[in-house]
Amino acid sequence: MMKRILTSALAMLISVATFAQLDRSVRPEPAPAKSIEFGDYEVYKLDNGLTIIVVENDKLPRVSFSLVVDRDPIFEGDKAGYVSLAGQLLRQGTTNRSKDQLDEEIDFIGASLFTGSSNVYAAGLTKYQETLVELLADVALNPSFPSEEFDKLKKQAISGIENAKDDPNSLSSRIFNQSLYGKDHPYGELQSEENVENISIEDCKSYYNNYWTPSKTYITVVGDIKARKAKKLIKKYFGDWQAKEMPSATYPAVPQYDGTIVNVVNRNSSVQTVLSIGNTIDLKPGDPDIVKLRVANQILGGGSMGRLFQNIREDKGYTYGAYSSYDSDRLVGEFSAGASVRNEVTDSAVVEFIKEFERLQNEAVTDEELQAAKNNIIGEIGRSLESPQTIASFALNIQRYNLPADYYSNYLTRLDAVSKEDIMAVAKKYFHTNALVITAVGKGAEIAAGLEKFGPVTYYDFYGEETGPPSLPVPDGMTAQDVLDGYTKALGGNDKLDKVKDLTITSSIEIPGLPMPAKGITMQKRPNLFKNEMSVDGMGVMQKTVYDGKKANISGMGGSKEVTDSEELKAYEAQATFFAETQYPALGYTLELTSIGFVDGEKAYVMEVTSPEGDKSTEFYSVETGLKIKEESSFEGPEGPMTASTAYADYREVNGIMFPFTMTMSQGPQKIKFEVKTIEVNSGLKKGDFN
Taking only the tens place, the pLDDT of each residue in 622-653 is 999 999 999 998 877 766 677 889 999 999 99
Nearest alpha carbon to residue 587 among 565, 606, 601, 572: 572
Does the pLDDT value for residue 36 go beyond 90?
Answer: no
Average pLDDT over residues 588-601: 90
Average pLDDT over residues 59-88: 97
Task: Tell me the average pLDDT of the chain.
Answer: 91
Can you state the percent helix, strand and coil of the chain, rounding each to 5? 35, 30, 35
Instruction: Output phi, psi for 218, to 5 deg.
Output: -120, 140
CATH code of the domain occupying 480-689 = 2.50.20.10
The CA-based dihedral angle spanning residues 298, 301, 307, 309, taken in that order and rounded to the nearest 10 degrees = -140
- Digit-coded pLDDT (tens) for 135-170: 999 999 999 999 999 999 999 999 899 889 889 999
pLDDT of residue 640: 65
CB neighbour class for 411 (10 Å; exposed up to 12, middle 13-18, buried from 19): buried
Q: What stretch of H or E contains 208?
A: helix 201-211
Report how far residue 663's alpha carbon sits from residue 677's, in angstroms, rounded to the nearest whole number.
12
Report how far residue 124's alpha carbon sits from residue 62's, in angstroms, rounded to the nearest whole number.
6
- The answer to whether 675 and 515 have CB atoms below 8 angstroms apart is no
Does the pLDDT value for residue 13 go beyond 50?
Answer: no
pLDDT of residue 20: 33
Residue 214 identity (one-letter amino acid): P
pLDDT of residue 624: 96
Q: How are strands ordered across the β-sheet holding 51-56?
A: 42-45, 51-56, 217-223, 62-69, 119-125, 112-116
Within the chain, all domains assigned CATH 3.30.830.10 are found at: 42-238, 261-467
How confident is residue 102, by pLDDT bands cut at 50, 70 and 90? very high
Report how far residue 360's alpha carbon sits from residue 339's, in angstroms, rounded to the nearest whole number.
19
Report how far residue 637's alpha carbon sits from residue 544's, in angstroms, rounded to the nearest whole number.
25
More reliable by pLDDT, 382 or 111? 111
Does the pLDDT value for residue 222 go beyond 70?
Answer: yes
pLDDT of residue 10: 28
pLDDT of residue 40: 78
- Digit-coded pLDDT (tens) for 300-348: 999 999 999 999 999 999 999 999 999 999 999 999 999 999 999 999 9
How confident is residue 670, by pLDDT bands cut at 50, 70 and 90? confident
Does the pLDDT value for residue 18 go beyond 60?
Answer: no
Average pLDDT over residues 556-575: 84
Does the pLDDT value for residue 450 go beyond 60?
Answer: yes
Report how far residue 314's alpha carbon sits from residue 308's, in angstroms, rounded to the nearest whole number.
9
Does the pLDDT value for residue 23 go beyond 90?
Answer: no
pLDDT of residue 69: 98
> How far does Cα 583 stand from its chain's mean position?
39
Out of 3.40.50.2000, 3.30.70.580, 3.30.830.10, 3.40.190.10, select the CATH number for domain 261-467.
3.30.830.10
Report how far residue 584's alpha carbon sits from residue 579's, in angstroms, rounded to the nearest whole number.
9
Nearest alpha carbon to residue 534 among 571, 559, 509, 504: 509
Nearest alpha carbon to residue 414 among 29, 36, 23: 36
What is the CATH T-level fold of the domain 42-238, as seen in this structure? Answer: Cytochrome Bc1 Complex; Chain A, domain 1 (3.30.830)
pLDDT of residue 193: 96
Does the pLDDT value for residue 364 go beyond 80?
Answer: yes
How confident is residue 7, by pLDDT bands cut at 50, 70 and 90? very low
Report how far residue 71's alpha carbon sits from residue 69's, in angstroms, rounded to the nearest whole number.
6
CB atoms within 10 A of CB 426: 26
Q: Where are the alpha helices (DSSP H) in 544-680?
A: 566-576, 584-587
pLDDT of residue 133: 99
Report how far residue 230's alpha carbon sits from residue 198's, in angstroms, rounded to the nearest whole number.
42
The DSSP call for residue 41 is -
Does the pLDDT value for residue 461 go beyond 60?
Answer: yes
Does the pLDDT value for residue 264 go beyond 70?
Answer: yes
pLDDT of residue 580: 94
More reliable by pLDDT, 334 or 575? 334
Report how far residue 644's alpha carbon sits from residue 655's, in angstroms, rounded to the nearest whole number.
31
Could you tell me the pTM of the whole model? 0.78
Does the pLDDT value for residue 9 go beyond 50?
Answer: no
Report how far residue 282's alpha carbon sits from residue 328's, in angstroms, rounded to the nearest whole number.
8
